[in-house]
């Protein structure tokens, strides 16, 4: 887990699954009072990335949160999900990863991505094509801003 107030990149994997580790980091950071306020409303939210991940794993947010807050490592949280949710094939994980990595690129989330780029002052960044790209860019900018203060 990251030691600052931002979760790891959504691109980082736990057992080959993108985003899952980020969700675990957000649970831990929130419990420690270190998660940025703007992130809190999306914790476990059914219509956001957390909800997508929870549905894919077929586990309940509150149940997973209890496991993580009881001190589970990433590995232990993953194993808990396997035992309480759905086990996926490598092919299913690959499809999930591709879906998540491309969110915001020519899909229903494209408008959200464009709005967030504009709000962040990144309209000129044509290399940022997905929401994962945006999260990495925006959080790196926030980290640099905090280091300057």
43 and 88, same domain (yes or no)? yes
Domain span including residue 79: 1-101
72 and 114, same domain (yes or no)? no
95 and 138, same domain (yes or no)? no
Q: Is the pLDDT of residue 143 over 90?
A: no
114 and 83, same domain (yes or no)? no
27 and 49, same domain (yes or no)? yes
Tokens of 83: 């035992």
128 and 89, same domain (yes or no)? no
Distances (CA, A) of 98 to 16, 38, 49, 51, 103: 12, 26, 14, 17, 9
133: pLDDT confidence band, cut at 50, 70 and 90? very high
Q: What was the pLDDT predicted at 30?
A: 97
C-alpha 43/C-alpha 28 separation (Å) is 11
Tokens of 6: 């931002």
Number of domains in the chain: 2
91 and 118, same domain (yes or no)? no
What is the separation, in whole angstroms, between the first and last Cα of the chain? Answer: 24
119 and 78, same domain (yes or no)? no
Tens of pLDDT, residue by residue over 21-60, are: 999 999 999 999 999 998 999 999 999 999 999 999 999 9
Torsion of CA 93, 66, 138, 107, to 10 degrees: 40
Kindly report the pTM of this predicted structure: 0.88
13 and 51, same domain (yes or no)? yes
Largest CA distance in the chain: 46
């Amino acid at each position: 887990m990251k030691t600052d107030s931002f979760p790891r990149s959504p691109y980082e994997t736990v057992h080959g699954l993108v985003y899952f580790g980020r969700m675990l980091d957000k649970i831990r950071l929130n419990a420690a009072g270190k998660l940025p306020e703007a992130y809190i409303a999306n914790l476990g939210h059914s219509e956001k990335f957390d909800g997508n991940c929870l549905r894919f794993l077929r586990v309940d947010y509150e149940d997973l949160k209890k496991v993580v807050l009881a001190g589970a490592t990433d590995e232990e949280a993953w194993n808990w999900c396997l035992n309480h949710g759905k086990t996926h094939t490598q092919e299913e994980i690959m499809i999930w990863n591709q879906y998540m990595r491309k969110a915001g690129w020519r899909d229903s989330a494209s408008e959200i991505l464009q709005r967030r780029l504009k709000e962040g002052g990144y309209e000129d960044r044509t290399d940022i094509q997905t929401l994962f790209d945006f999260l990495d860019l925006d959080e790196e900018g926030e980290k640099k801003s905090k280091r300057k203060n």
